């Protein structure tokens, strides 16, 4: 029963998000343009670009997914979706977890699918690209969940984008360092097992704890 509710909630959220193409297409365009501008500015054939490319791609990924999450959550509040979640007889944290999967599929997965092409553009090899994609797949659940906590805390504030970024920056720094250093270590011929394991641990921790934090923040925002 609980699993069927989970799947129904996730499917409904996906249908709502997909019906608004600009909500998922604009972030993809921003992501591609952001990274391409760095490539043009530094020169696509420069050694500096290759060394900086992991950090550039991770920063672009963080910024893009953060503001996508904030927009999706705000639309939920305006359309009454948050009130429906609170009135549901099912555990709020379980519904938040379903919403997390839907938001991750819309805000993170499309960006990750473009990474191999952008990584080649930034002078990364196929193997380095693979580790970059692996790191983002492992670390992006933590990015999404932390973003959802921030979006829930600021959902009742008008124009909270800048404040949201400042609020979550300290929480994103460890994820950014681990993700960037994983590819940087690979560039120096060292397998980044420790960094990838820590990213996985952070994602598991946030997915376990964050739904309860988001649920509490939404109750406070609506009250």
58-88 pLDDT, tens digit each = 989 988 888 787 777 777 666 667 777 777 7
Name 34's Cβ contacts closer than 8 Å, sequence gap at least 6: 60, 63, 64
* Number of structural domains the chain divides into: 1
Alpha-carbon span 197 to 199, nearest angstrom:
5
Q: What is the DSSP letter of 154?
A: T
Q: Could you read off the pLDDT of 150-167 as tens digits, one per residue?
A: 888 877 666 655 666 677
Residue numbers of the domain that contains 54: 2-222
Give the confidence band of 22 by pLDDT, cuts at 50, 70, 90. confident
Mean pLDDT calculated for residue range 132-149:
90
CB 141 within 8 A of CB 203: yes
Residue 164: predicted pLDDT:
67
Alpha-carbon dihedral sign for residues 105, 123, 171, 206: positive
Mean pLDDT calculated for residue range 201-211:
92
């Amino acid at each position: 029963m609980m699993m069927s509710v989970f799947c129904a909630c996730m499917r409904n959220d996906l249908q709502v998000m997909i019906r608004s193409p600009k909500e998922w297409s604009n972030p993809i365009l921003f992501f591609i343009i952001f990274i391409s501008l760095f490539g043009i500015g530094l020169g696509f054939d420069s050694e500096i670009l290759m060394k900086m490319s992991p950090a550039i791609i991770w920063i672009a990924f963080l910024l893009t997914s953060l503001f996508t999450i904030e927009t999706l959550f705000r639309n939920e509040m305006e359309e009454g979706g948050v009130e429906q979640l609170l009135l549901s007889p099912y555990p709020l944290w379980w519904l938040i977890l379903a919403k997390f999967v839907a938001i991750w599929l819309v805000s993170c997965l499309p960006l990750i699918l473009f990474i191999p092409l952008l990584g080649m553009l930034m002078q990364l090899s196929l193997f380095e690209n693979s580790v970059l994609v692996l790191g983002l797949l492992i670390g992006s659940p933590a990015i999404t969940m932390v973003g959802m906590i921030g979006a829930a805390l600021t959902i009742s504030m008008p124009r909270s984008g800048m404040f949201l970024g400042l609020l979550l920056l300290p929480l994103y720094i460890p994820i950014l360092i681990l993700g960037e250093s994983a590819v940087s270590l690979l560039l120096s011929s060292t397998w980044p097992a420790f960094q990838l394991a820590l990213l996985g641990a952070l994602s598991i921790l946030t997915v376990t704890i964050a739904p309860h934090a988001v649920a509490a923040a939404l109750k406070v925002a609506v009250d």
